[in-house]
Amino acid sequence: MSSFSIHGIGVSSGIAIGHAHLVSNALLEVVHYQLPEQLVGNEIARFSDAVLIVKKDLETIRGTLSKNAPAELGAFINTHLMILSDKSLSEVPKDIIRKERCNAEWAIKQQMDDIVEQFDAIEDEYLRERKHDVVQVVERVIKVLLGHPSQAPNQTNKIQQQESVTILVAHDISPADAIQFKQHHFAAFITDVGGITSHTAILARSLNIPSIVALQRARDLINDGELIIVDGSLGVVIVNPSKDILAEYELRQNQWMLEQQKLKRIKSAKAVTMDGTTIDLYANIEVPEDVDAVKASGATGIGLYRTEFLFMNKREMPDEEEQFQAYKKVAEAMHGLPVTIRTLDLGADKQMNPDSVSECANPALGLRAVRLCLSEPQIFHTQLRAMLRASHYGNIKILIPMLSTLAELRQTKLLLERAKLSLRKQSIAFEENIALGGMIEVPAAAINAEAFAKELDFLSIGTNDLIQYTLAIDRTDDAVAHLYNPLHPSVLKLISITIKAGAKLGKSVAVCGEMAGDAKLTRLLIGMGLRQLSMHPSNILSVKQQVLHSQITKLNSDARKVLGLSDLEKIEPLVAKFNLL
């Protein structure tokens, strides 16, 4: 087998060496493992139980449909029940388990792939599209199976060991899929498409595993099981490496791991510059379980809790109680440290239900974030009530995404007051003076930052979207990814305007976009006047190292020089020069 390399965009640094695992189009990816002969019977029983659970769930849903429910809903459920009862899904996977001695998740996934392939060969478009119903039914079964682990002794450890040398290779991974990977221990993942700040890339960084996007044809060129090297720092994938290259990368991998270990020495150190200025280093999270990583990183608070991931991979909106419990869990776990919760930011590349993705010519410019919330006041009301209730259990702040007009802000404040009033009437405790902040991620908001600062308690700059909208670049599109640059003079000027607006009115300003976690930009941001940076927990220590070796007076001078330039080609080398330790 000949060795070759593929180049893409590295979105999460580090080196991974492992075997390729091609990701199918199924929503939930599963890992293959073998079972000892004596446990095959137990695995078949586990599969049968999962099918029975899904069947009962569907029958329960059908039984709770109101008389006024559209007839299509009942027909939809009946179709899924019929598919589930078919022997090709209810019996054939058992034969696969017996024959291959494999786990149930893998068996039903293999059968699903075969069925989907048969559907793809059908000429009739309507019948061909029915494959999606099969995929949805299988996903339900797999989700149940993942909630009921195999009875094999120590099987969890074995799976984790296999996953730790498994590299996922996909055409694309949606944020909804990627959020599922948090429960796994994959070595890396690589995709054909995507940009450096697509939400999939952001989640890759939160998983703290090497990842590369925009590889174009990786999934076509790489075979399942092939040994590959992923260099997330250089954005290079090496397929079937020679012995010499493999040895060299094993050495590099060990050196990288040693550097990560060294950084842990400063975990308990306060983020204070050499001349005594404290910089607040906060963490970004997606789900309550991320709090463990926040604590391990030494972060002094949560600067961005992306609540939309609570809504993803679900057929129905989470109710107020479910949301309240999630927010409360995070607030209590942080023991009084600040927790900034962003209201729902669905839309663009983040959809709640993968089966009902709304069609929009330009989703990034469409009905998303606060626009969506204001158009769905009942959903917004439910979330605001849940946040307010949770504020009684910790230091919670509310953050509104993608504000572009003062009218949007004032309408939001009215809805917040309405939520407070409804809780008062029920005598439910909450923090009356809860802080309300706004995200500056639209150029219109940055230019008008002073007006927003007058009506808000704090500002938070979302650099990912701010760069996208300023430079007219779709941050999920690898075709224009090379044009995405946080050091563009227009972007820096908008950030500077926002920082000055906050300073003038005595309102704190943070950066919670990917710029905050880029250690190469830390000194520039501090020099521009920022004192709060929020990032993925995995980036806290590298950013803190930059803070500890910085002097504010020099950084202020360096930042002024950068802001005085209008040529990107002059800005980049200047930032690189004064950024060296």
pLDDT > 80? residue 448: yes
More confident residue, 467 or 139: 467
Q: How confident is the model at residue 197 (pLDDT cuts 50, 70, 90)?
A: low
Mean pLDDT of 389-396: 98
Q: Which pLDDT score is estimated for 316? A: 73
Task: Decide if 343 contacts 373 (C-beta within 8 A).
Answer: yes
Q: Which amino acid is at 519?
A: A
Q: Which pLDDT score is estimated for 73? A: 64
CB neighbours of residue 1 within 10 Å = 8
Nearest residue to 152 via CA among 255, 34, 264, 62? 34
1-28+154-264 and 36-151 in the same fold: no
Which sequence spans correspond to the domains of the chain? Answer: 1-28+154-264, 36-151, 267-578
Condensed to tens digits (0 to 9), the pLDDT of residues 262-313 reads 999 999 999 999 999 999 999 999 889 889 999 999 999 999 999 988 887 5
Q: Which pLDDT score is estimated for 180? A: 61
Q: Which pLDDT score is estimated for 27? A: 47
Please, is 88 exposed, middle or buried when counting C-beta atoms within 10 Å of its C-beta (0-12, 13-18, 19+)? middle
Distance CA 276, CA 274 (A): 6
Structure tokens at 380: 């917004």
199 assigned to active site? yes
Condensed to tens digits (0 to 9), the pLDDT of residues 499-519 reads 999 999 999 999 998 899 999
pLDDT > 60? residue 149: no
Q: What angle do CA 505, 511, 515 make, to 5 degrees?
A: 145
pLDDT > 60? residue 233: yes
Condensed to tens digits (0 to 9), the pLDDT of residues 562-580 reads 999 999 999 999 999 877 6
pLDDT > 50? residue 255: yes
Class of domain 36-151: mainly alpha
Q: String of b and e for 113-126 (b: at least 16 CB within 10 Å)?
A: eebbeebeeeeeee
Mean pLDDT of 347-351: 55
User: C-alpha 423: how far from its chain's center?
Assistant: 32
Nearest residue to 433 via CA among 420, 424, 423, 422? 420
Percent of the chain at pLDDT exceeding 90: 61
Catalytic residue (one of 199, 335, 360, 536): 199
Q: String of b and e for 362-399 (b: at least 16 CB within 10 Å)?
A: ebbeebbbbbbbeebeeebbbbbbbbbbbbebbbbbbb
Residues with Cβ within 8 Å of residue 497, at least 6 apart in sequence: 446, 447, 449
SS3 state at 130: coil
Condensed to tens digits (0 to 9), the pLDDT of residues 58-116 reads 888 788 776 666 566 677 788 889 999 999 999 999 999 999 999 998 999 889 888 88
- For domain 267-578, the CATH superfamily is Phosphoenolpyruvate-binding domains (3.20.20.60)
Task: Decide if 502 contacts 508 (C-beta within 8 A).
Answer: yes
One of 3.30.390.30, 1.10.3720.10, 3.40.50.720, 3.50.30.10 is the CATH number of 1-28+154-264, namely: 3.50.30.10
More confident residue, 449 or 194: 449
Task: Decide if 148 contacts 167 (C-beta within 8 A).
Answer: no
pLDDT > 80? residue 23: no
Number of Cα atoms under 13 Å in the Cβ half of residue 263: 21
Range in 35-44, 216-225, 431-440, 538-547 with the lowest mean pLDDT? 216-225
Q: What angle do CA 285, 182, 49 make, to 5 degrees?
A: 130
Most confidently modeled range among 159-163, 418-422, 478-482, 555-559: 418-422
Q: Which pLDDT score is estimated for 354? A: 43
Task: Give me the long-range contacts of 210-214 (CB less than 8 A, separation at least 24).
Answer: 210/10, 210/12, 210/13, 210/14, 210/15, 210/16, 211/10, 211/11, 211/12, 212/8, 212/9, 212/10, 212/11, 212/188, 212/236, 212/237, 213/8, 213/9, 213/11, 213/478, 214/8, 214/9, 214/478, 214/481
Q: How confident is the model at residue 484 (pLDDT cuts 50, 70, 90)?
A: confident
pLDDT > 50? residue 184: yes
Q: Which pLDDT score is estimated for 346? A: 80
Distance CA 456, CA 447 (A): 16
Q: Which pLDDT score is estimated for 315? A: 57
Q: Tokens 């270990």: give the residue.
A: 261
pLDDT > 80? residue 206: no
Structure tokens at 286: 């997606």
Catalytic residue (one of 21, 102, 184, 512): 512
Range in 161-175, 252-266, 378-392, 558-572 with the lowest mean pLDDT? 161-175
Q: Which pLDDT score is estimated for 153? A: 42
Structure tokens at 500: 């000055």
Mean pLDDT of 360-386: 87
Q: What is the DSSP letter of 182?
A: G
Q: How confident is the model at residue 174 (pLDDT cuts 50, 70, 90)?
A: low
